[in-house]
Chains A and B, each alone.
Chain A
């Protein structure tokens, strides 16, 4: 990218002189920080070129906030830079997500995501294009059917008896009365 240092200096000075553009600069920088893109020359160039376009747009759309313009332009620049990493079949509304997934996956490799074409081999690029984040493997379904539960004859009798006493469980007062009566009977019989 052939931009003169003088021009870059002027651009930075003008960004810093306006509070609105300064906030836009900080926000866009924060986003690149959140993407953990290292603060190197490539990032600086991406930012400045984005801001150059955002400033130009501001002249045509004065009511649009600078932060919005700068962020959109930075996003477009990222889209263009990372286009190599994403299959053309990915729909436009999904590209930003897929870009971030690839930036995430490339993090530990310490390759600069802003110039992947220069640093990544064709194999890696092809692999990245094919990436589809899948948390589960392909299904290999099996059927499991619960075994019917069968009580033996003693169980049947006990279940039916328990059914008859279910009222005690649902009525606490009745349960207390019956319990106390039983204790009373026991005491009476033991006297």
Chain B
């Protein structure tokens, strides 16, 4: 017996109150178990390290080194423990305590908003992904209770026009008028969290649930409907997060990440759910939220002090989960719910750019560690998020301290006499913690022949793991370098600009760009190498794996963005046998070229854009005059004559745009800027749309 039937039977046997107690006791046991294993492993490491370090006597540097080591090693031990527990859970084959056990396909659905906040994103991807979900729900006959909201914060004039026509096209294709909505904010206050908050203020009472998607999220109708059903049968659940699989990458960097995530994350996910249970976390997308507690309890506070560490919260998801938990609601992780996917940055540079924003966002969470009313497990999630970035400068500090100590020993003529057995055991233990989860993942994969086949077979899977490990050894120092810079800059009070991500691949950054962006890294690597050699050749040998990534930073960054490299490796089940929804994710067709020009010339772009403008009240004469000047400037000088701000001003005025549209079309070629005459030719022989 499984699922709700099993739960009902258990309630029958022991009573619901008793069941709650049993559940709580079980969860407590699990948490204690994970804590003890983590602490034991960390204690062994610490003991070995102090044995090695103390063998030549103690000094303040060594004490500090030991403190830093304990932070790093405990983090590592916790990650390993989680993966190990996850391995056991998956090997056992049945996890009695997971939210998906309560899924009942017969549960009626409830009113749900599917929201996708966007900011100057690739329009075809955004609307294509929404269309995939829409059609998937439509095919299941479960569309009735869903409404879709594309919440645009876009600021580029071209994007605004393109998004509007894409919305109209999507509605026309799917007959989705009245069900697929498009809202644009003129001022993107508080970025993504402000965008969601604005949605909640406007339509918060219209829906019981909200499924939040990122611009590159794809979810199947089945997974979204399942999330709603899980919410319905778990009335204490405030958020249910899914485990999105990475898909759609074409570049070598993206495909390696995709492969690694697909192979290793199931263990971590199962392990995470094992101990966190209803005290889970929220990752900001591919999740469902209960509207009413979200409205009453999850509005983000303003942090003390100025940005970047204070002020408005940049990374909202962990905080919202903590606030939801504080309000008494559960946050669950539906780690085994299929049909949740997302894209990823195509190359190392874009990945690092994203990390820069995330680093600042996560560092702000330090305040919540010091705040009232934050649950202990929520604090742990916040610490994990902070350590994801701040462990890099901690590692650098550790290496520097070791370097200083080695230099002191060298100049004082102390010969190294470390206890070799302890050093070997510590090295092996560290390797086990670092690579053990990968090994366990491979074991788990080999226990499932069908899944192994969908990873391309045993040889390719093994070769993929080896290459991925080599690649991660090379890229890890680069990430340490950049994370350290980001953290230190944030601590020094420097802000991070909210940049758009390039989610598409391509031929990768040009060599000259890679050189311009990464040149300090190999230079620093060479200087560190010389310093290390000067201190002691042994010290250089010890840090060579770290320096290797720094020396090769430029070629790694360039190669990371290349498509078509090692296509036969790093295959994933989603690549070999794409689910129906992914294989049908045909590109969303839009008119190529300058979208602002289309807003003037294309009769449909122009009409849709103008029709969506609010009917304006009479402008002040000066404003009308300004708009007329802009229109004349555009007509006489072409689009290059206007700034982005001026284009936005024109786009905000329907009547002026209508006049411009007619003016360009009715003016003979010789009486207007040659740009317009040329642009008009693009419309010759346009074919009617077929249904």
Q: How far is the CB of B299 from chain A (nearest CB, A)?
A: 4
Contact flags B275-305 to A (C-beta < 8 A → 1, else 0): 0000000000000000000011101111111
Bound-state CA distance A75–B665 (Å) is 11
Q: Are B603 and A31 in contact (CB under 8 A)?
A: yes
A97 to chain B: which residues have CB within 8 Å?
606-607, 610-611, 654, 658
B205 to chain A: which residues have CB within 8 Å?
140-142
B168 to chain A: which residues have CB within 8 Å?
104, 133
Bound-state CA distance A5–B680 (Å) is 31
Contact residues of B between 163 and 183, Cβ < 8 Å to A = 164, 167-168, 172-173, 178, 181-183
Instruction: List the one stretch of A9-17, A44-52, A55-63, A144-152 in contact with chain B.
Output: A144-152
Bound-state CA distance A30–B665 (Å) is 9
Q: Are A136 and B372 in contact (CB under 8 A)?
A: no
Asked if A126 CB lies within 8 Å of chain B CBs, one says no
Q: Are B602 and A34 in contact (CB under 8 A)?
A: yes
Asked if B638 CB lies within 8 Å of chain A CBs, one says no
Bound-state CA distance A158–B309 (Å) is 14
Q: Is the interface of A mostly helix, strand, loop or mixed?
A: helix
Q: Are A36 and B687 in contact (CB under 8 A)?
A: yes
Give the bracket for the number of chain A residues in contact with chain B. Answer: 35 or more
Asked if A164 CB lies within 8 Å of chain B CBs, one says no
Q: How far is the CB of B8 from chain A (nearest CB, A)?
A: 35
Bound-state CA distance A67–B676 (Å) is 15
Q: Are B691 and A110 in contact (CB under 8 A)?
A: yes
Contact residues of B between 569 and 599, Cβ < 8 Å to A = none
A151 to chain B: which residues have CB within 8 Å?
304, 367, 370-372
Contact residues of B between 323 and 378, Cβ < 8 Å to A = 323, 367, 369-373
Q: How far is the CB of A68 from chain B (nearest CB, A)?
A: 5
Asked if A81 CB lies within 8 Å of chain B CBs, one says no
Asked if A143 CB lies within 8 Å of chain B CBs, one says yes
Q: Are A133 and B608 in contact (CB under 8 A)?
A: yes
Asked if A23 CB lies within 8 Å of chain B CBs, one says yes
Bound-state CA distance A47–B167 (Å) is 32
| Interface core residue of A101, A154, A189 (most chain B CB under 10 Å) | A101
Q: How far is the CB of B412 from chain A (nearest CB, A)?
A: 8
Known: A36-B689, A98-B611, A170-B493. A27 touches B203 (CB 8 A): no
Contact of B204 among A20, A140, A150 (CB under 8 A): A140
Q: How far is the CB of A185 from chain B (nearest CB, A)?
A: 9
B492 to chain A: which residues have CB within 8 Å?
169-170, 172, 175
Q: Are B666 and A108 in contact (CB under 8 A)?
A: no
Q: Are B201 and A141 in contact (CB under 8 A)?
A: yes
Contact flags A101-119 to B (C-beta < 8 A → 1, else 0): 1011101111000000000
Bound-state CA distance A151–B181 (Å) is 40
Tally A-B pairs: CB < 8 A: 201
Bound-state CA distance A183–B406 (Å) is 15
Q: Are B603 and A35 in contact (CB under 8 A)?
A: yes
Contact of A135 among B181, B367, B606 (CB under 8 A): B181
Q: Are A147 and B299 in contact (CB under 8 A)?
A: yes
Bound-state CA distance A133–B613 (Å) is 10
Q: Are B59 and A169 in contact (CB under 8 A)?
A: no
Chain A residue at minimum C-beta to C-beta distance from B150? A135
Asked if A186 CB lies within 8 Å of chain B CBs, one says yes
Known: A31-B683, A140-B206. A187 touches B404 (CB 8 A): yes
Q: Are A191 and B408 in contact (CB under 8 A)?
A: yes
Q: Are A169 and B301 in contact (CB under 8 A)?
A: no
Known: A136-B182, A146-B299, A155-B367. A186 touches B64 (CB 8 A): yes
B197 to chain A: which residues have CB within 8 Å?
144
Q: How far is the CB of B314 from chain A (nearest CB, A)?
A: 15
Bound-state CA distance A144–B297 (Å) is 8
Q: Are A107 and B172 in contact (CB under 8 A)?
A: yes
Bound-state CA distance A109–B173 (Å) is 11
Contact of A187 among B61, B604, B665 (CB under 8 A): B61
Q: Are B684 and A137 in contact (CB under 8 A)?
A: no
Asked if B667 CB lies within 8 Å of chain A CBs, one says yes
Q: How far is the CB of A11 from chain B (nearest CB, A)?
A: 20
Bound-state CA distance A132–B369 (Å) is 51
A25 to chain B: which residues have CB within 8 Å?
none
Asked if A178 CB lies within 8 Å of chain B CBs, one says no
Q: Are A71 and B680 in contact (CB under 8 A)?
A: no
Contact of A146 among B302, B369, B412, B683 (CB under 8 A): B302
Q: Are B689 and A190 in contact (CB under 8 A)?
A: no
Q: Are B666 and A71 in contact (CB under 8 A)?
A: yes
Q: Are B181 and A137 in contact (CB under 8 A)?
A: yes
Bound-state CA distance A189–B680 (Å) is 78
Q: Are B300 and A146 in contact (CB under 8 A)?
A: yes
Asked if B202 CB lies within 8 Å of chain A CBs, one says yes
Asked if B36 CB lies within 8 Å of chain A CBs, one says no
Q: Are B202 and A100 in contact (CB under 8 A)?
A: no
Asked if B662 CB lies within 8 Å of chain A CBs, one says yes
B412 to chain A: which residues have CB within 8 Å?
191
Q: How far is the CB of B316 from chain A (nearest CB, A)?
A: 12
Bound-state CA distance A31–B658 (Å) is 15
Contact flags A156-191 to B (C-beta < 8 A → 1, else 0): 001100110010011010010000000100110111
Q: Are A27 and B370 in contact (CB under 8 A)?
A: no
Bound-state CA distance A20–B607 (Å) is 29
A143 to chain B: which residues have CB within 8 Å?
201, 295
Chain A residue at minimum C-beta to C-beta distance from B400? A183
Contact residues of B between 477 and 503, Cβ < 8 Å to A = 491-493
A150 to chain B: which residues have CB within 8 Å?
371-373
Bound-state CA distance A98–B604 (Å) is 10
Bound-state CA distance A108–B126 (Å) is 22
Asked if B688 CB lies within 8 Å of chain A CBs, one says yes
B642 to chain A: which residues have CB within 8 Å?
none
Q: Are B662 and A140 in contact (CB under 8 A)?
A: no
Known: A34-B683, A144-B204, A186-B60. 9 other contacts (CB 8 A): A38-B688, A141-B205, A143-B201, A149-B367, A159-B305, A170-B493, A186-B61, A186-B404, A190-B59
A residues engaging B (CB < 8 A)? 20, 23-24, 27, 29-31, 33-38, 65-68, 71-72, 75, 93-94, 96-101, 103-105, 107-110, 133-137, 139-152, 154-155, 158-159, 162-163, 166, 169-170, 172, 175, 183, 186-187, 189-191
Can you offer 29 A-B residue contacts whose CB atoms are under 8 A?
A29-B684, A31-B603, A33-B685, A38-B688, A71-B665, A75-B662, A93-B658, A97-B606, A100-B606, A101-B607, A101-B608, A103-B603, A103-B604, A108-B172, A133-B608, A134-B178, A136-B182, A136-B202, A140-B203, A141-B201, A141-B205, A143-B295, A146-B299, A147-B301, A149-B304, A151-B371, A154-B370, A166-B493, A169-B493
Report the 10 A-B pairs with minimum CB-CB distance, sorted nearest first: A155-B370, A142-B204, A100-B607, A149-B301, A190-B59, A71-B666, A34-B683, A108-B691, A140-B206, A107-B689
